[in-house]
Structure 1
Amino acid sequence: MCEYLIVGVGTDDFMIRRKNRTSILSYEQRVEIVKAIRYVDEVVPENDLDKIAAYYKYGFDVMIAGEDHRMESVYIDAERELKKMGVAVVYIERKKQCSSTYIRNRIIEMYSKL
């Protein structure tokens, strides 16, 4: 699908603003995990949801986002504008087992049985 894959990883500050909580893993840890994926060419900080600004900064021709974002107004607006600029927008299925909420609940469930 792409020749050069840039992945945005939400900064700790952004995650607090977006989800009102910190991530279990620090930004630096999440970056290292994403960098270890052989298909990833570059990891960049995601400080906000401004996909148009990201387009002008990185010049991508495809934006890939999780299916769970499809109905968020910020993504709907960005998709409309990006398509006008010739950018394809692709939504990929989100696996339940990859959800941080799912992982947290599994950990709580496991420890409550001890």
Structure 2
Amino acid sequence: MVIGYAPGAWDLFHVGHLNVLRHARDRCDYLVAGVVDDDMLEQAKGARPIVPTLERAEILRAIEFVDEVFIETQPDKLETWRRRPFDVFFKGDDWRGTVKGLDLERRFAEVGVSVVYFPYTVHTSSTRLRRALTMLEPNAGHDEALQNI
């Protein structure tokens, strides 16, 4: 049985997230969705997620492509693999060819884990959704902000 691992923030869940999970499930027998916890996201991105860890995990548990949810509480993906072993690691292709991506590929190759990249959804992202939400003011019209998504 091939176990796949798809980590992410999964904040402001959108179609790009769903596509990653769908494509990941097509390439493994058992899919584990890794949820990066609130503290790690704040460290990495400088802001806490809008949707808290346990709620993001609950959303993922409800998706038919996901067999298991694992909450990540530390940043080292190899340590995550030690705590919850898997055979294939799935990531958005915005990491492909980057220093971080190449390092990830090298480290996982040493333990027999392959890295598979999926297309990044550029027209919809949590970053763009967050930006649109921050543009919304209490009395401002929502249509204008939502057009920027």
Question: Is the structural similarity TM-score above 0.5?
Answer: yes
Equivalent positions of 1:16-55 (< 5 A) are 16-55=42-81
Over the aligned positions, Cα root-mean-square deviation in angstroms equals: 2.2
Gaps of 5+ in 1: none
Give the structure-1-normalised TM-score. Answer: 0.84
Equivalent positions of 1:81-92 (< 5 A) are 81-92=107-118
Select 2:87's aligned residue among 24, 47, 61: 61
1:67, CA displacement in angstroms?
1.4
Moved over 4 A (4+): none
Q: Return the alpha-carbon distance in structure 1 between the equivalents of residues 75 and 101 of structure 2.
A: 8
Report how many residues are paired.
114
3-state SS, counterpart of residue 103 of structure 2: helix
1:7, CA displacement in angstroms?
0.9
Gaps of 5+ in 2: 1-26
Q: Is residue 111 of structure 1 aligned with residue 142 of structure 2?
A: yes
Share of identical aligned residues, percent? 34
Q: Return the alpha-carbon distance in structure 1 between the equivalents of residues 85 and 123 of structure 2.
A: 32
Give the structure-2-normalised TM-score. Answer: 0.66
Equivalent positions of 1:87-106 (< 5 A) are 87-106=113-132
Deviations 1:39-96 (A, max 9, x none): 1111111223312112222221100011123345343212112113221100111212
User: Normalized per residue, which structure has more helix?
Assistant: 1
